[in-house]
Amino acid sequence: MTLTLATWNINSVRLRFPLVEKFCAESRPDILCLQETKCRDSEFPSSDFRRIGYEHLAINGQKGYHGVCIASRLPILNVVNREFCGMGDSRHIAITIQSSAVSADPVTIHNFYVPAGGDEPDPKINPKFAHKLSFLDEMADWMRRDRIGASNSIIVGDLNIAPLETDVWNHKALLKIVSHTPVEVERLNQVMQAGPWADIVRKRIPPEVRLFSWWSYRSPDWSTADKGRRLDHIWTSENISTLATDIKIIREARGWERPSDHVPVVATFTSVKS
């Protein structure tokens, strides 16, 4: 028995639904978590998702900004979302499912879109960066208090931080660039420790291997320049981390027509009995 889970910052689900359909036809994830859907719940292309086999939807949308959703081939037992920092932004949604590929007990999947943080990595002069740090602090506090990562839990999403030196194209050049600054990496590590969470992408792909999931639109030849960052993550609670048997980053999706600047990250979980 297997479960395939994908996360993708789609950068407008209505504009890029043809890419979603292409990806789902080729990779057939059981669960697809999207960020930056950029539409209200009433505008979400639900019928299109059902047409391609995703009957079960959990949506937390917002007009023109942010927005997260989870599309599932499996029945959804429960849906919750949480607001962070009192901003009213749609940046989190979670579902509970039953999958014997992961556990005999229900499994909770959290889908996050962490704020990007603007351009200047100084919270005193950049409110967007201050918001990002506060968001991460609140994530960590919530996870510690409510024991969010205690068991049978998964976090996915665009966390907008590339924590390792090999998660960016040039560690030294990006130390003062938002998404790779030491203060952001420290905050993300605090979130991870609050679970505690396991970075299953790096459990399967060694940390010494350079690995990216985002390439800027500003680069006219993104593939040749390869100035990427690993901003998109899949973490699990420690008790199920060994069940992740395969990880794929769909790099070629960055070269599709009218692409997102992010690409899908896919994890396959396989039960011990399989």
Averaged over 207-215, what is the pLDDT?
A: 97
Residue 34 confidence (pLDDT) above 70: yes
User: Would you state the pLDDT for residue 272?
Assistant: 63
User: Would you state the pLDDT for residue 124?
Assistant: 97
Indicate the domain borders of the chain.
2-270
Q: What's the rounded Cα separation, in Å, for the pair 182 and 172?
A: 11
3-class secondary-structure state, position 189: helix
Averaged over 65-80, what is the pLDDT?
A: 97
Q: Which residues contact 140 (CB under 8 A, 6 or more apart)?
A: 187, 190, 191, 193, 194
Residue 77 confidence (pLDDT) above 70: yes
Q: What are the pLDDT digits (tens) for 176-189?
A: 999 999 999 999 99
User: Would you state the pLDDT for residue 201?
Assistant: 98
User: Would you state the pLDDT for residue 100?
Assistant: 85
**Whole-model pTM over 0.95:** yes
Is there a contact between 183 and 131 (Cβ–Cβ < 8 Å)? no
The angle subtended at Cα 125 by Cα 124 and Cα 131, nearest 5°, is 70
Averaged over 94-118, what is the pLDDT?
A: 93
Q: What percent of the chain has pLDDT over 90?
A: 93
Could you tell me how far CA 61 lies from the centroid of its own chain?
A: 16
Handedness of CA 196, 8, 254, 270 (dihedral sign): positive
**When comparing pLDDT for 230 and 1, which is higher?**
230
Q: What are the pLDDT digits (tens) for 157-182?
A: 999 999 999 999 999 999 999 999 99
Averaged over 31-50, what is the pLDDT?
A: 98
The terminus-to-terminus CA distance of the chain in angstroms comes to: 6
User: Would you state the pLDDT for residue 1?
Assistant: 87
Averaged over 65-87, what is the pLDDT?
A: 97
**When comparing pLDDT for 245 and 1, which is higher?**
245
The pLDDT confidence band at residue 101, using thresholds 50, 70 and 90, is confident
The pLDDT confidence band at residue 273, using thresholds 50, 70 and 90, is low
Averaged over 99-124, what is the pLDDT?
A: 94
Architecture of domain 2-270: 4-Layer Sandwich (3.60)
Q: What percent of the chain has pLDDT over 70?
A: 99
Handedness of CA 109, 207, 252, 215 (dihedral sign): positive
Residue 207 confidence (pLDDT) above 60: yes
User: Would you state the pLDDT for residue 274?
Assistant: 40
Is there a contact between 89 and 131 (Cβ–Cβ < 8 Å)? no
Averaged over 39-50, what is the pLDDT?
A: 98
